[in-house]
Homo-oligomer: A and B are copies of this chain.
Amino acid sequence: MPILERSNPLPLYYQLKEVLKQQIQAGHLAPHMAIPSEPELVAQYHVSRATVRQALTELVHEGLLYRQHGRGTFVCEPRVQQRVASELTSFSEELRRRGLKPGGLLFVSELVRGSQAVREQLRLTDEEQVVRLERLRTANDEPIAYEVNYLPYPRAASVYQRAKEVADGSLYHLMSTEGLAPYMVEHAFRGDSPTSREAELLHLKENECGMRSSCTTFDETGAPIAYTEAYYPSGRFEHRLTLRVTK
């Protein structure tokens, strides 16, 4: 049983969370098994019950544990653990998880005024411009999606300068390192036919149909930090999203 380090700058509840996470991943705490009760954890790790409860409450929110009043605290199924943990993963990570090799081409990275729809979504003032990234995504070197990202300019200046890094990588990850951390996204999906440019880049026949998605990303304060439009031709990629119910 590991001991929590009081000299460690990381909070005790956070250290306890990490210990429990590792025990779950290592299989010492199996799905649907009760973990030690709160008083037991208090005794084992020499912390107060409030600290134990803070650790457990956060693990419940992260989908690793569930509680039952009067019975105990239990380990969630791996299926739930993974899905809740992956509520927002990058496209490339998702491809790797499905055993595909992610790749991509960055066609354009430019500063433009943007269409009215884009300006509305990003709530720009009259003077502001947008960073526009145009990407062709590939899986095992086959084109599977055409994607255009828009970011509000003065705020995303540093992302613009590092735009070349996102050709086959994660825009969300780059944004997070530059002070534009996604907090919430709204996705919209609909069946649609491709534009001529999409048909060309994705090697589609005239009437081949697919799916179009729009996605607006917000930071913690509710400010829009990205707007993305993408086209997925039929049969090459399935978009998967995990939601939890807020009661």
Q: Which residues of B contact A185 (CB under 8 A)?
A: 242-243, 245
Question: A184 interface residue, CB < 8 Å from B?
Answer: yes
Distance in angstroms between the alpha carbons of A220 and B222 in the assembled complex: 29
Instruction: Tell me which of A10-18, A71-79, A134-142, A154-162 binds B.
Output: A71-79
Distance in angstroms between the alpha carbons of A241 and B240 in the assembled complex: 11
Contact of A238 among B189, B244, B246 (CB under 8 A): B189
- Chain B nearest CB: distance from A172 CB in Å? 8
Closest partner residue, chain B, to A244 (CB atom): B184
The contact string, 1 if C-beta is below 8 Å from chain B, for chain A 203-247, is: 000010111010000101110000000001111011111111110
Instruction: Tell me which of A39-47, A80-88, A100-108, A125-133 binds B.
Output: A80-88
Question: A190 interface residue, CB < 8 Å from B?
Answer: yes
Query: Given A192-B191, A237-B190, A184 and B242 touching (CB < 8 A)?
Result: yes
Which residues on A are within 8 Å of B, measured CB to CB? 31-32, 50, 61-63, 66, 74, 76-77, 79-80, 83-85, 87-88, 181-193, 207, 209-211, 213, 218, 220-222, 232-235, 237-246
| Further pairs besides A83-B184, A181-B245, A188-B240: 20, Cβ < 8 Å | A50-B50, A61-B61, A61-B246, A66-B220, A80-B218, A182-B245, A183-B244, A187-B243, A188-B238, A189-B189, A190-B234, A191-B192, A191-B209, A191-B210, A191-B232, A192-B234, A207-B209, A209-B234, A241-B241, A242-B243
